[in-house]
A and B are shown apart, each in its own frame.
Chain A
Amino acid sequence: MDKEGKLDQTVISALFSHGLMGVEIPTQYGGTGSTFGSAIVVIEELSKVDAGVSVFCDIQNTLINTMLMELGTEKQKDKYLNRLATDTVGSFCLSEATSGSDAFALKTNAKKDGDAYILNGSKMWISSADIAGVFLVMANVDPSLSYKGITCFIVDRDSPGISIGKKEDKLGIRSSATCAVHFDNVKVPSENVLGVVGHGYKYAIGMLNGGRIGIGAQMLGIAQGCFDKTIPYTLQRKQFGKPIFDFQGINHQVSRVATQIECARLLVYNACRLKEAGLPFVKQAAMAKYFASEVATETTSKCIEWMGGVGYTKDYPMEKYYRDCKIGSIYEGTTNIQLNTIGKHIEQEYRGKD
């Protein structure tokens, strides 16, 4: 999957049939009826094997399903939740060529036309666009209102005017295809507006907070998975008559990295706990995501070193974990954005005490 840059159909089908694509969707809609915490654990476990599979599962659970469950009308939920739980992949379309961190500068527009909207524009960096059956698209109904015109639309794949651009040739998470998506006079009925017109910016921010915990879990899984594959080798590989694990130089590095992974784990699980308890969790989610991505970067880099020469080859899996983790500090909010968010919360916490 890494080489070909796409998900194997048997993997996609297995994720659906095991109920892993609709973890939080209520059973009445054909979902698994479990908790956010369960979804986080699913993402962590999948990431221990392949981060491309886990991001695919993460986006569906933490972004697509959550938005529909929290904002959807009964009609929208009836129409889409069952499909999302059983066989339909969803894609989240926010970023564009000229708007990444500056998300609200998006240019895709939606002109009202009777009982529908006409969408025009191009989205970039859209995960799973090649296999998605439904897209959640952020478009602006009135650019003169600036970001307050951003609205979320549910767009079916077979709507005329949608075209999927070429797949990006990425460094990592290659099994998850990332493409541009073009909207050329795509007609979307008004009943497919998700939530309130003009509130899209709020929804995007809100959902991405939960999504951040998911990415934190993904980075945690990458770190743990890579670590689990490396340590047995260090216990067997002998140099100067003893396993390299026995040399204090290696041993101490291993202990430090293991501690960092544990810290990342606690940040992710704590952010998850706060969210499930209905307590404020935005600061902690940002911390979990940025910290876990840094831990994954350090862990995978160190693992390659501990493996020595073989770690540098494609014959061993460490190089894949090393490539896969880099995206963690970039997508769903760059590390700089996370640090901005944390700083803002700290400012609010302390300013209020004046």
Chain B
Amino acid sequence: MSLRVMVGVKRVVDYAVKVRVKPDKTGVITDGVKHSMNPFDEIAVEEAVRLKEKNVANEIIAVSCGPAASQETLRTALAMGMDKAIHVEIPQPQYDTMQPIHVAKCLAKLATDYKVDIIILGKQAIDDDCNQTAQMTAGLLDWPQGVYASKIEKDGDLLVVTREVDGGLETVKLKLPAVLSADLRLNEPRYATLPNIMKAKKKPLDKKTPADLGVDLAPRHQVVSIEDPPTRQAGAKVADVDELISRLKALGRI
């Protein structure tokens, strides 16, 4: 049985960048800042490429919902081994207020249109840490979900997914089609080799708009302000437990 796998990738501020808040508090500075593929999405892409190499998947597609620059992220996915890419182009002002629910609606429509069997997403994006898109997508499609996956195996017609949960590891069996989200220990993504980067330029990249997918991007949230966390105050040393207790009482903490 050969499956079609769709992987969602997001272009985010690179993990190594020191993020700074904009002076007007409407967000963080992204102009001129280094961006890369969300690290959890790289793991999702790597998993899809491995599924193809194992002949479990026969077509693997990368998708990104974002402004024109998202195409760079899609090209990286293609260079890692994805067969083709779909860019749902979102103009910048609408992208600034886009939420996981909107992305989930786009992915759900694409999954239906392209007859996808497995959707793999990164468990969360490192810019908003939402950890919602995979779950919402599964909900919209009414598909089973295996999120925080640290291992994915095929067992006949089912997917056996080991999930990292607070208490340890949980194993679930899912019927197909299903939505999965990749956690850190699922795999170690490969570096794209220079020949693959060259080949990626020739792989197909389809363009769609939210209107094509019938998705309304009207925001449901309004960001009121974005601020730095309060700077850490200096601590104080106490001589013994008695002093600690009297100090805490004086501060009204106990």
Pairwise interchain contact A17-B193, C-beta atoms closer than 8 A: yes
- B198 contacts the other chain (CB 8 A): yes
Tell me which of B191, B194, B196 contacts A23 (CB under 8 A).
B194
How many residues of chain A are within 8 Å of chain B by beta carbon?
12
- B195 contacts the other chain (CB 8 A): yes
With a CB–CB cut-off of 8 A, which chain B residues contact A17? 193
- A34 contacts the other chain (CB 8 A): yes
Complexed CA–CA distance, A19 and B196 (Å): 9
Pairwise interchain contact B194-A42, C-beta atoms closer than 8 A: yes
Pairwise interchain contact B198-A18, C-beta atoms closer than 8 A: no
- A336 contacts the other chain (CB 8 A): no
- A268 contacts the other chain (CB 8 A): no
Pairwise interchain contact A38-B194, C-beta atoms closer than 8 A: yes
- A32 contacts the other chain (CB 8 A): yes
Q: Most chain-A CB neighbours within 10 Å: which of B191, B194, B196, B198? A: B194
Please report whether the interface of chain B is mostly helix, strand, loop or mixed according to DSSP: helix
Nearest residue, chain A, Cβ from B196: A19
Nearest residue, chain B, Cβ from A20: B194
**Interface size bracket, B side:** under 10
Complexed CA–CA distance, A32 and B198 (Å): 7
Q: From residue 114 to 159 of chain B, which have CB atoms closer than 8 A to chain A?
A: none
Complexed CA–CA distance, A33 and B195 (Å): 7
Q: From residue 2 to 37 of chain A, which have CB atoms closer than 8 A to chain B?
A: 17-20, 23, 27, 31-34
CB distance from B154 to the nearest CB of A (A): 28
Complexed CA–CA distance, A303 and B193 (Å): 33
Complexed CA–CA distance, A38 and B201 (Å): 15
With a CB–CB cut-off of 8 A, which chain B residues contact A23? 194
Pairwise interchain contact A33-B198, C-beta atoms closer than 8 A: yes
With a CB–CB cut-off of 8 A, which chain B residues contact A20? 194
With a CB–CB cut-off of 8 A, which chain B residues contact A38? 194
Q: From residue 179 to 224 of chain B, which have CB atoms closer than 8 A to chain A?
A: 191, 193-196, 198
With a CB–CB cut-off of 8 A, which chain B residues contact A34? 194, 198
Complexed CA–CA distance, A32 and B193 (Å): 9
With a CB–CB cut-off of 8 A, which chain A residues contact B194? 18-20, 23, 32, 34, 38, 42
Interface flags for A117-150 (1: CB within 8 Å of B; 0: not) read: 0000000000000000000000000000000000
With a CB–CB cut-off of 8 A, which chain B residues contact A31? 195
Complexed CA–CA distance, A195 and B36 (Å): 46
Complexed CA–CA distance, A31 and B199 (Å): 12
Nearest residue, chain A, Cβ from B195: A19
CB distance from B109 to the nearest CB of A (A): 37
With a CB–CB cut-off of 8 A, which chain A residues contact B198? 19, 27, 32-34
Complexed CA–CA distance, A233 and B193 (Å): 33
Q: Most chain-B CB neighbours within 10 Å: which of A17, A23, A32? A: A32
With a CB–CB cut-off of 8 A, which chain B residues contact A32? 194-195, 198
Complexed CA–CA distance, A19 and B191 (Å): 12
With a CB–CB cut-off of 8 A, which chain B residues contact A18? 191, 193-194
Q: 15 A-B residue contacts at CB 8 Å?
A: A18-B191, A18-B193, A18-B194, A19-B194, A19-B198, A23-B194, A27-B195, A27-B198, A31-B195, A32-B194, A32-B198, A33-B198, A34-B194, A34-B198, A42-B194
Closest 6 CB pairs of A and B: A19-B195, A19-B194, A18-B193, A32-B195, A32-B194, A19-B193
